[in-house]
Amino acid sequence: MRKDYIHFVREIYSYCDENIGEKVLFPAFMNLWDENGEASYISRKDLAVLTSKIISRLLNKDKKKKREKILRVIHSNYKLHDAYGFYKIRSHKNLMHYTDLTEKKMKLLKL
């Protein structure tokens, strides 16, 4: 599970790096787990909890780690609560620093 979790975090970070300025629904982040066909052993509920923990880190600013807010919540015009979280990816420094070593590690994680 740990290897899959690390890979999932990297998928979300890469998605944020590649889609700056875009608006995205919460399920789009959950679907990043499914891209490699690894979702067979995790329930949708557990995946939602896992995804929300990662998203909450991207929503909050951390001065100690010099981390900026990556996502901003977009609220609907209705007073009712939204069924899914809706976010805008803010301009930021790259979350994933790609090097040859990073690429090798990613290939190993996919095995």
pLDDT in tens, 41-54: 788 899 999 999 99
As to burial, measured by CB atoms within 10 angstroms (0-12 exposed, 13-18 middle, 19+ buried), residue 109 is middle
Phi, psi (5° rounding) for residue 24? Answer: -145, 145
pLDDT score, position 40: 57
Whether residue 57 has pLDDT greater than 60: yes
**Sign of the dihedral defined by the CA atoms of residues 82, 27, 93, 19, in that order:** negative
What's the pTM? Answer: 0.74
Taking the C-alpha atoms of residue 90 and residue 42, their distance in angstroms, rounded to an integer, is 30
